[in-house]
Structure 1
Amino acid sequence: MSKDLTVRFHGAAGTVTGSCMEFAYDHRHVLVDCGMFQGSRSLEHLNLEEFAFDPALIDAVVLTHAHIDHSGLLPKLVKDGFKGQIHCTLPTADLLEHMLADSGRIQEYEAERRNRRRDRAGEDPFVPAYTSADARDAWEQCRPVELEQWFAPAEGFRARLWNAGHILGSASVELEVDGVRVICSGDVGPDNKAFQLDPEGPSGFDHVVCEATYGDREREAVTIAERRLLLQSEVEAAITRGGNLVIPAFALERTQELLLDLHHLLLSGAIPNVRVFVDSPLANRVTEVFERHAKELEDTGETNIFDNPSFHFVTDVSQSIALNSVSGAIILAASGMCEGGRIRHHLIHNLHRKDSTVLFVGFQAQGTLGRVILEGAERVRISGNDVRVRAQIRHIHSYSAHADQRELLEWVEERSPISGSLFLDHGEPAALEAMRRELQRRQPDLNVKLPQIGEKYLLSPSAPAKRLETGRSDLTEVLGHDWQNTYADFATSLKADLAKLRSDRQRQEALEQMRRVLASYNAHMARKNGR
């Protein structure tokens, strides 16, 4: 191997999850992030594949933050042979103790649940990507580092972390290798972000990797005070309807931001003394970490805003089930995209109620249940239950922890001049392309690249990055809309559609015709593939 610096993208290219970049130089390999793919079942299946590299040959990991789409495959990395250190900020290390353990428990539970299914009888047992014990092993390899202080993750590498303003402990990663300067944005926070200071970082790089989650949109500039007015309006409307206000909320940061705003609304009398249930054991543990780092948080008025008598932190399953009979309450539950966790339980019991409200306060990736509901589905399938959507579906955009297009462009401008290439990652295709066009309009000479998963680039000083290897060609369908969501929508609507027919004979004929269409298609594909 020559002493050239290269980077290979193993995730978050053409999609918003699975962040993982492998930097290699002189037989040394450093990962920036090692995250899980999240979203559709097909996309999440990628987490079960073998790594595209040998984990035993990775010298170190530099982690931007604790969100699972950036950190969630660390336990698998350790299980498969990684022995190096995981460098991150102290708050990130504290959060990982709980985030990784929870993810490990989810992997174990999902494997057990799938193995119990009758339609899997006789098949090889489903094996989890990793266990909670693997998660503990990974956390023990974390080594906290201070912001803006140089450290050496591997021989030939120098690195510094800069505040990214995204969540507690989040950072951008600066690398210097044999005269080549690179910065990876991680996830960049927006203006007026609760708890966090504005993003920081130096300027003048050879290569920059910038996220583009919201690269295709600009949000209306909203202050924290204005955002609280929006939340106040939603709470008042939900209480007037008489049902519950159900909020799918990410356990890390989004839940705590909502509690911050609800605390101020309750304290000021802007909303009545409504009960607020936080039904997420992980969110409750994360909140305890926030309390430990309270001195580092903005906007709290130096008080413990989580110690509000209206807040009820639910842990036991029996307490969670008891919320089925509640009305007129606010229920916060994970996961934020409705793909797992207790939020699915609450959606089953509230989506069909005309008097209830479901309020989305975060990004909903393609293929997720949250995206399906938000886009207006009349029926959804949740954990084997067909659920009619009759509740009010609402959305507040101003809680995003990600910078919008304008803020991302400002972040890129502050890193300039960029003498080599700007890579755009962590975005869906439309967002990436919109961001690329706007950057090229503003800086026609800037070399902008949209990497694909598996692509490898040579990074030289003051020269555009050169692609050395192409990406995976088998992921196009996986990264788009998932067939299983289409199937769930079809299956959920099928009974209602059949009921519209006039007789049982017509229903039987329709079912037989559908079977014939599927059989014909299977035969056609078999002939096409030469079988």
Structure 2
Amino acid sequence: MKVKFLGAARGVTGSCYAMEVNGSRFAVDCGLHQGNSEIEKRNWNTDVYNPGGLEFIMITHAHIDHCGLLPKLVRDGFNGRVYVTPPTMDLLEIMLKDSAYIQEMEAEWKNKKRSRHGRPTLDPLYTQADVDKALAMLTPVEYNEEFTPKPGINVLYKDAGHILGSSIIEIRVDEKDDKKVKLVFSGDLGRPNQLLVRNPSYSEVADFLFLESTYGNRDHKNEDQSRDELLEAIDYSYKHGQKVIIPAFALERTQEVLYSLYLLHKEGRLPQDVPIFLDSPLAIRATQVFSKNYRYFDVKTRKLFKAGEDPLRLPGLKLTESPKESMAINSYNGPAIIISASGMANAGRVKHHLRHNIWKKGASIVFVGFQAKGTPGRKIVDGAKTIKILGEELAVNARVFTINGFSAHAGQSHLLEWLSCFQNHGMKVFLMHGEYENQKVLARLIEKRFGHEVHIPDYLEECILKPNRIFEASMPTEKEVPRINWDYVLSELETKVSGLRNSQDRISHMGWNEQVELRDDALEAGTILSRLLASVDFDGDTRKK
């Protein structure tokens, strides 16, 4: 039995385990890689997945970093079944179609630029037609109902309490000589007492556990504190007549924020005259799917729906579907709450709202989810004084709030509590879906408290899993983590600066307008270099923020 780690290895995107079990090949998750240009190149290299050789895929939940590569795998040869819970099936339809739209629009934008320079055009990563083929392969499975995708492989989905439809996947493998091996994939685990969804289910036995570790180094604040912090941001901007901008993931985080606003309204703490704009077509559709699938919610929320009350709709909520309606929000005078995607402020309509408000004193920016390294959201949270949005360098004068209590991920103590329910000793734990420094903190705690052996695999690493909880790890000879050749980069910069200096006399004889444009371009390049230098200490060490 073998597992190859094709994503979320010492990182938090592109979740995918390629498995070889009893002569069958299948995958657990197939997420989109998101981040810098080198990481996103992985989405195009599907040879490492061998899509045509996969017999089936099991998806833990509908977040794009766990499912977003499915249409690309279909495009490149996958033609098997895809097992999902019914709510995940509904959510995948809107999430993958939205992703395909983004892929097509980005390709169109790039091709216009390439055509102007006489360069060949590019295909999108995948299209709506690829999504339609992928959706036809979805096979719904209910929680706690074991099924057998291939002889000798028995699978059980349990509620992970992360988002609507999210799952822990347990796999029992019947090997030769009547030996049995149990694998448990946590997917993304939710935190207890989260709004809307149930608490995570527990597993009790595993030979090999693949555990997420997003918040392996810290805990969250509790829900009541989070609502208080949200109200603090609203009151602050309300008193100053400015807007509250909430970059929120369309799936789950938006719905939890809406529920929190509903509770603040019911408690009489929310200003009655402040409009709330839900400005994301995807988030609007996802919210409708949540309401449709309310039977999967926790007891308290189900009671509200059965009583005819929808906690995801509240007075003052305005749904803005069209671009025209979205643009009109920034012409609205007075305080308002704007919930818009994307959650890390790196795409979508929220960038326009930030552009209009981040430089205003009295405005608030409220981050309610994890901000990955390199994203605009992470830069703002880390205290950037200025930020480039839609090509414009803007001062960060708005008050920034980071409310981790809204996270759909288990915190450190939640992960350890979940682990404590395993009754077997000698379990091997693989830490996945986390930044490496956070994972090392959690690994030490697990080894000290439970005595389990912990391994933190790297991208493309392979492990042979054997009975008696033995594993052998290996790395391909040519590991796909490109080394940055800084000598080359700096040499190129120096050559170009030298060339510009040598051309100074010729430039000075150009027309005034041409000189102004060249000057502005040179100053913009200087600003970029200043930002690079600001992120590095004088001794060359990356600054810890």
TM-score bin (small chain):
0.7 to 0.9
Please state if 1:447 is matched with 2:443.
no
Q: Deviations over 1:423-474 (max 9, x none)?
A: 0010001111111111122134x21100011111111122231114448634
Q: Secondary structure at the match of 2:77?
A: coil
Describe the SS at the equivalent of 2:469. coil
Which of 328, 346, 359 is equivalent to 1:339?
346
CA displacement at 1:267 relative to structure 2: 2.9
Which one-letter code corresponds to 1:261 in the other structure?
Answer: S
Q: Is the 8 A contact 1:114 1:120 kept in 2?
A: no
Could you tell me which amino acid in structure 2 is paired with residue 134 of structure 1? D
State the AA in 2 paired with 1:258: V
Task: State the Cα distance separating 1:385 from its structure 2 match.
Answer: 2.2
User: Is 2:319 aligned against 1:313?
Assistant: yes
1:324 aligns with 2:330: yes
Which whole-Å CA distance do the structure 1 matches of 2:234 and 2:477 have between them? Answer: 47
How far apart, in 2, do the equivalents of 1:163 and 1:471 lie?
Answer: 38
Which amino acid in structure 2 is aligned with residue 289 of structure 1?
A: V
1:40-60 Cα distance to aligned partner (Å, 9 max, x none): 333223212234032111011
1:351 Cα offset (Å): 1.1
Q: Which of 398, 410, 416 matches 1:403?
A: 410
What is the aligned partner in structure 2 of residue 263 from structure 1? 262
The amino acid that maps onto 2:181 is V
Q: Specify the alignment match of 2:251 in structure 1.
A: 252
* 1:12/1:425 contact within 8 Å kept: yes
CA drift at 1:476: 6.4
**2:438 corresponds to 1:437:** no
2:115 and 2:129 map into 1 onto residues whose CA distance is 29
Which segment is superposed worse, 469-478 or 157-166?
469-478
Q: Displacement of 1:26 after TM fit?
A: 3.3
Which amino acid in the other structure matches residue 450 of structure 1?
A: I
Give identity over the alignment, percent.
38
Report the CA distance shift for 1:37/1:471 in structure 2 as closer, same or farther (over 3 A). farther
Equivalent in the alignment of 1:237? 236
1:40 aligns with 36
- Aligned equivalent of 2:218: 217
The SS at the match of 2:171 is: strand
Match of 1:205 in 2: 206
1:403 shift after superposition: 0.5
Deviation track 1:96-133 (CA, whole Å, cap 9, x = no partner) reads 01000000000001111122236972223232110122
The aligned residue for residue 491 of structure 1 is none
Task: Return closer, same or farther for 1:418/1:134 CA change in 2, 3 Å cut-off.
Answer: farther
Name the CA distance, whole Å, in 2 between partners of 1:219 and 1:105. Answer: 34
Shift of 1:35: 0.2
* Distance in 2 between residues matched to 1:472 and 1:402, nearest whole Å: 33
Amino acid at match of 1:89: T
Q: 1:344-493 counterparts in 2 under 5 A? A: 344-444=351-451, 446-470=452-476, 473-475=479-481
Going from structure 1 to structure 2, the CA distance change for 1:158 and 1:275 (only over 3 Å counts) comes to same
Of the three residues 109, 131, 136, the one matched with 2:132 is: 136
CA distance in 1, matches of 2:156, 2:211: 16
How far is 1:477 from its partner? 6.1
Partner of 1:186: 187
Q: Equivalent residue for 2:271? A: 272
SS at structure 1 position matched to 2:147: coil
Q: CA deviation at 1:158?
A: 1.1
* 1:357/1:39 CA distance change after superposition, 3 Å: same
In structure 2, the residue corresponding to 1:39 is in which secondary structure? coil
CA distance in 2, matches of 1:140, 1:118: 34
Asked if the contact 1:205/1:419 (under 8 Å) is kept, the reply is no
Structure 2 counterpart SS, 1:229: helix
Distance in 1 separating the partners of 2:471 and 2:17: 15
Which residue pairs with 2:57 in the alignment? 61
- Tell which deviates more after alignment, 289-298 or 342-351: 289-298
How far 1:396 sits from its partner (Å)?
0.8
- Checking the alignment, whether the CA contact within 8 Å between 1:246 and 1:358 is kept in structure 2 is yes
| Matches of 1:339 and 1:407, distance apart in 2 | 29
Q: Tell me, yes or no, if the aligned pair for 1:452 and 1:471 is still in contact at 8 Å.
A: no
SS at match of 2:467: coil
Q: Secondary structure at the match of 1:196?
A: coil
Which stretch shifts more, 395-404 or 190-199? Answer: 190-199
Q: Residues 52 and 79 of structure 2 are in contact (CA less than 8 Å); yes or no, is this contact kept in structure 1?
A: yes
Which structure 1 residue ranges, 5 or more long, are not aligned? 488-503, 519-531
CA distance in 1, matches of 2:483, 2:453: 28
Question: Which of the numbers 175, 182, 207 marks the counterpart of 2:171?
Answer: 175
CA contact (8 A) 2:226 2:404 kept: no
Displacement of 1:201 in angstroms is: 3.0
8 Å Cα contact 1:9/1:22 also seen in 2: yes
- CA offset digits 1:162-207 (Å, max 9, x no partner): 1101000000110111211000000000122111111113312110
Which is worse superposed, 330-339 or 416-425? 416-425
Task: Give the residue type in structure 2 aligned to 1:54.
Answer: N
Q: Aligned pair in 2 of structure 1 residues 174, 471: CA closer, same or farther (>3 Å)?
A: farther
Which among 12, 20, 23 is matched to residue 16 of structure 1?
12
Letter in 1 for 2:23: H
Q: Which amino acid aligns with 2:329?
A: L
Match of 2:507 in 1: none
Kindly tell me: are residues 511 and 117 of structure 1, through their superposed partners in 2, closer, same or farther at Cα, counting changes over 3 Å? closer
Q: Number of aligned pairs?
A: 483
| Residue matched to 1:96 | 92
Deviation at 1:386, TM superposition (A): 2.2
C-alpha contact (below 8 Å) 1:208/1:418 kept by paired residues: no
TM-score by length of 1: 0.86
Partner Cα distance (1:231, 1:338) in 2: 18
Deviation at 1:394, TM superposition (A): 1.2
Asked if structure 2 preserves the Cα contact closer than 8 Å seen for 1:205 and 1:418, the reply is no
- SS of the equivalent of 1:251 reads coil
Displacement of 1:511: 6.3
Measure the CA separation in 2 of the matches of 1:230 and 1:371. 19
| Cα deviation digits, residues 231-285 of structure 1 (max 9, x gap) | 2222111211221000000000100111111112123321112100000000000
Please give the alpha-carbon distance, in whole angstroms, between the structure 1 residues aligned to 2:522 and 2:343: 37
TM-superposed deviation, 1:364 = 0.1
Query: The residue matched to 1:205 in structure 2 has which SS?
Result: coil
SS of equivalent to 2:149: coil
| Distance verdict in 2 for CA 1:122–1:238, change over 3 Å | same
TM-score (norm 2): 0.84
> Is 2:187–2:212's contact at 8 Å kept on the other side of the alignment?
yes
Match of 2:284 in 1: 284
Residue-by-residue CA offset, 1:323-345 (whole Å, 9 max, x unaligned): 11123000000010111111111
**Maintained 8 Å contact 1:36/1:69:** yes
3-state SS of paired residue (1:415): coil
Higher deviation after alignment, 461-470 or 246-255:
461-470
Which amino acid in structure 2 is aligned with residue 316 of structure 1? S
2:542 paired residue number: none
- Relative distance call for 1:328 and 1:42 in structure 2 (3 A) is farther
**Greater Cα shift, 270-279 or 115-124:** 115-124
